[in-house]
Amino acid sequence: METRRIKKAQQWMAMPDDDPQADTHSIDDDDHSQHQTKETKTKPKQKQSIFDTLFAIPAPLKPIFDRVPLLTYAANDLPLRSPRNRDGNVLHVFTTPEDATTGRPSYNPACLKWQAYLKFTGIPFTTLPSTNHASPSGALPYLQPAVSTTEFAKPQQPIPSNKLKRWIAAQNPGFPPHKEPEDPRYEAYTSLLDHRIRRTWLYQLYLHPPNAPLLQRLYILPTSSNPLVQLATLHSLRHAAETEILKSNSPSTPPNTIIEREIFSEAEEAWEALSALLGEDEWFLGGKRAGWFDAGVFGYSELLLGEGVGWGENGMGEVVEKHGNLVRHRERIRALYF
């Protein structure tokens, strides 16, 4: 018994795990495959990353994906109203498709001011109907510069209205950039446009009941054919207009009160002051040609005096008609640039 134990111990000590003689033994293919299977079964599984788990195709669906080839579809065509000629500048404004085709004035004073000023500078452009939601700044107008025809041209970013003056100066060095006159009255006259006249415009178009059909046609119907959406849009626009008007009420006006007589009286004084400023000159502030202030005045006078706007009641237009030089100023811009 002792002899057998000694022999076994001698055999174990004479054959370490890395004994090369063990590799020389011939092994059957079956034995080899069984040996590999055991190793495979005992080999620990690799831990899957969280990305493999999240984006893995579920087992029941994987055979379907294996059978379906990957197809790349052609890009969709641009909308029909998208500009086909991208080598030109496009000014996105409030307008109708028909008026955009013919280059007619926008029906929005802020958009029309920029439309007129671009024409004054001689920079070629076309107009395109748009909405505030499409603008990078959330307000119209904005300009999409022309796309260069070179293969590796850098894509042009849309230009909001607060950066248009700088862009115009860069595009047209020959046209003197807009500079505020040194006349201390300039700020006061600009305030007439930005506050008193704009305030009356908001009331006349958005809150004055006789002009409800015009508001509906210009700003409500183009947004949606859904009556609920139209109603919500109408409420939103009127609320915004009312808020703007109340912010600039005089101290003597009761809180949260809009007095129509007071609004139109202020507008009448503003147009009278602008008429006195223009005098017998062709352009405002003694300019040799139409400039930024002329564009601002034209943005309102054109829409108040223009035929076919569709006013139900146009009290502010009647005020402007009393001043012949303002009427001629509007007609002069129409004849030269539109």
For 145-165, the pLDDT digits (tens) are 987 665 445 667 899 999 998
Note the pLDDT tens digit of each residue in 59-100: 877 777 677 666 666 655 545 555 555 678 999 999 999 999
Per-residue pLDDT of the chain (338 residues; tens, 9 = 90+): 444 444 444 443 433 344 434 343 433 444 444 444 444 444 455 555 665 666 677 887 777 767 766 666 665 554 555 555 567 899 999 999 999 999 999 999 999 999 999 999 999 999 999 988 888 888 999 999 987 665 445 667 899 999 998 899 888 766 665 565 666 778 889 999 999 999 999 999 999 999 999 999 999 999 899 999 999 999 999 999 999 999 988 888 898 999 999 999 999 999 999 999 999 999 998 888 999 999 999 999 999 999 889 999 999 999 999 999 999 999 999 999 99
How many other C-beta atoms are found inside a 10 Å radius of the C-beta of residue 94?
22
State both tokens at 55: 């984006």
Q: Is there a domain that residue 4 lies in?
A: no
- 231 in the same domain as 272: yes
- Secondary structure (3-state) at 125: strand
Q: Is there a domain that residue 97 lies in?
A: yes
Measure the CA–CA gap between 298 and 149, rounded to whole angstroms. 35
- 205 in the same domain as 110: no
pLDDT of residue 126: 95
* Alpha-helical runs (H) found in 17-133: 29-42, 50-55, 62-67, 97-102, 109-121
- 164 in the same domain as 203: no
User: What b/e string do you get for 174-200 counting C-beta neighbours within 10 Å, with b at 16 or more?
Assistant: eeeeeeeeeeeeeeebeebbeebbbbb
Last residue of a domain, one of 137, 171, 205: 171
Q: Is there a domain that residue 179 lies in?
A: no
- 318 in the same domain as 216: yes
What's the domain count of the chain? 2
- 303 in the same domain as 204: yes
- 200 in the same domain as 105: no
- 293 in the same domain as 161: no
Measure the CA–CA gap between 299 and 38, rounded to whole angstroms. 87
Contact indicator for 202, 244 with CB cutoff of 8 Å? yes
pLDDT of residue 4: 46
Measure the CA–CA gap between 209 and 91, rounded to whole angstroms. 32
- CATH label of the domain that carries residue 249: 1.20.1050
Q: Per the confidence metrics, is the pTM higher than 0.85?
A: no
Q: Which domain holds residue 93?
A: 89-148+156-171
Measure the CA–CA gap between 116 and 150, rounded to whole angstroms. 30
Q: Is there a domain that residue 238 lies in?
A: yes
pLDDT of residue 32: 43
- 291 in the same domain as 265: yes
- 199 in the same domain as 161: no
pLDDT of residue 174: 63
Last residue of a domain, one of 171, 205, 220: 171
Q: Is there a domain that residue 3 lies in?
A: no
Last residue of a domain, one of 117, 137, 171: 171
- 197 in the same domain as 160: no
- CATH label of the domain that carries residue 143: 3.40.30
- 195 in the same domain as 163: no
Measure the CA–CA gap between 130 and 96, rounded to whole angstroms. 9
Measure the CA–CA gap between 131 and 140, rounded to whole angstroms. 7
- 136 in the same domain as 203: no
Q: Is there a domain that residue 42 lies in?
A: no
CA dist 102 to 95, 111, 127, 235, Å? 11, 16, 9, 32
pLDDT of residue 79: 53
Q: Which of 214, 191, 202 is nearest to 296 (CA)?
A: 191
Q: Which of 299, 251, 293 is nearest to 274 (CA)?
A: 293
pLDDT of residue 26: 38
Q: Is there a domain that residue 219 lies in?
A: yes
Measure the CA–CA gap between 184 and 181, rounded to whole angstroms. 8
Q: Is there a domain that residue 10 lies in?
A: no
State both tokens at 26: 């011939």
